[in-house]
């Protein structure tokens, strides 16, 4: 017999009821009741993932669950927030138990890594769409905004750039060595840089997560901050897997500069804090690379190893 809406919620979502600080009431009533401790600010964000737009139609249900939460957590990371709860509005075309089971396994695999409780949601019938709302806590006055970059600050990026775009470029490619698998892992299961964001609260002047590509996202920071920047093409961090496969890409530099979906953090750091930044990130074992410098003149410029200008396309995915 087909699963009823309530059975579905209980079996795949509510069953994972987690005890968490600041959650007075989770799933089961008309609303969840959540507490914001004194001295803390609540950061809230929502993102929708749609098949064929945000993830390929053939992505496994477990990866869809994992990725849908990861992209939301990345927004919390970019503000320096500690994740504290999430809600899930799920639209599915039918109650496919195998799909639901794998989807929820992927979703909770990531949620459990951050002891993050699911506190409510909604289930509706229609074309597959996953909306997740996340809440996180930040000590008052400590949120990392896009607007704080100042001329003279250094520009940094965590991890490596272009991997997810490289995986998309490799789709349909029959070979599948370890480097392929690594790049696909970056596309299917991005790592939200939560710990890095929390460390950056005391170090960065501005921060953003790279979801639309470095040029587009750093561009948002510069615009909000009323400044410009110069980045150096040869400094942009590329993973070993990316470098190994680079010759297969028509324009590897374009993937690094403009490719989205890596969910790394890009931040600006006043020069007097750079030594401390290096030390804190070494402790975290999180790679972070200086890629350029903030300048007073508006706009983003990129130079190659010979100091020559690299033309930048106004990249970034636009739905409309």
Binding of Mg ion at residue 122 (CB under 5 A)? yes
State the residue for tokens 């993830």.
55
Alpha helices in 114-191 (DSSP H): 163-170, 178-188
Q: Indicate the residue among 121 and 190 with the shorter CB distance to Mg ion.
A: 121
Place of tokens 């803390």: 40
Which of 13, 85, 184, 281 is in the footprint of ligand ADP by CB under 6 A?
13
With CB cut-offs between 5 and 8 Å by kind, which of ligand ADP, Mg ion, none does residue 77 bind? none
The residues that bridge with 33 in the sheet, in sequence order, are 25
Q: Which is nearer to ligand ADP, 29 or 308 (CB)?
A: 29
| Residue span binding ligand ADP (CB under 6 A) among the ranges 27-35, 58-66, 131-139, 253-261 | 27-35
Closest CA to 268 of 208, 223, 226, 193: 208
Q: Which of ligand ADP, Mg ion, none does residue 27 bind to, with CB < 5 to 8 Å depending on kind?
A: ligand ADP
Query: Of the listed pieces 58-66, 70-78, 120-128, 207-215, which binds ligand ADP according to CB under 6 A?
Result: 120-128
Phi and psi at residue 124, to the nearest 5°: -135, 165
Residue 263 near residue 191, CB atoms below 8 Å: yes
Which of ligand ADP, Mg ion, none does 314 bind, CB closer than 5 to 8 A by kind? Answer: none
CA 123 to CA 233: how far, in whole Å? 45
Shortest Å, Cβ 126 to ligand ADP: 14
- Which of 23, 69, 88, 312 is the binder for ligand ADP (CB under 6 A)? 88
* Beta carbons of 238 and 256 less than 8 angstroms apart: yes
100 contributes a contact to ligand ADP by CB under 6 A: no
């Amino acid at each position: 017999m087909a699963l009823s809406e309530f059975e579905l919620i209980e079996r795949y979502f509510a069953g994972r009821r987690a005890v968490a600080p600041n959650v007075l009431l989770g799933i089961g009533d008309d609303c969840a009741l959540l507490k914001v401790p004194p001295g803390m600010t609540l950061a809230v964000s929502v993102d929708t993932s749609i098949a064929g737009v945000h993830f390929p139609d053939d992505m496994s249900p477990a990866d869809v669950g994992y990725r849908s939460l990861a992209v939301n957590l990345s927004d919390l990371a970019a503000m320096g927030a500690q994740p504290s709860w999430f809600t899930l509005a799920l639209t599915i075309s039918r109650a496919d138990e195998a799909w639901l089971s794998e989807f929820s396994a992927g979703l909770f695999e990531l949620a459990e890594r951050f002891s993050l409780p699911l506190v409510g949601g909604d289930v509706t019938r229609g074309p597959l769409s996953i909306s997740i709302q996340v809440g996180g806590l930040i000590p008052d006055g400590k949120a990392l905004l896009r607007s704080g970059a100042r001329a003279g600050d250094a520009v940094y990026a965590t991890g490596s750039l272009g991997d997810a775009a490289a995986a998309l470029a490799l789709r349909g490619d029959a070979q599948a060595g370890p480097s392929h698998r690594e790049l696909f892992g970056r596309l299917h299961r991005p790592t939200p840089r939560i710990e890095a964001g929390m460390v950056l609260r005391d170090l960065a002047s501005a921060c953003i997560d790279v979801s639309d590509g470095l040029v587009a996202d750093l561009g948002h920071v510069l615009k909000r901050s009323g400044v410009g920047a110069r980045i150096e093409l040869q400094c942009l961090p590329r993973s070993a897997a990316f470098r190994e496969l680079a010759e297969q890409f028509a324009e590897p530099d374009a993937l690094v500069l403009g490719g989205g979906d890596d969910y790394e953090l890009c931040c600006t750091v006043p020069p007097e804090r750079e030594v401390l930044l290096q030390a804190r990130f070494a402790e975290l074992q999180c790679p972070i690379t200086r890629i350029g410098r903030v300048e007073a003149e508006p706009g983003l410029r990129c130079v190659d190893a010979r100091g020559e200008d690299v033309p930048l396309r106004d990249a970034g995915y636009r739905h409309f």
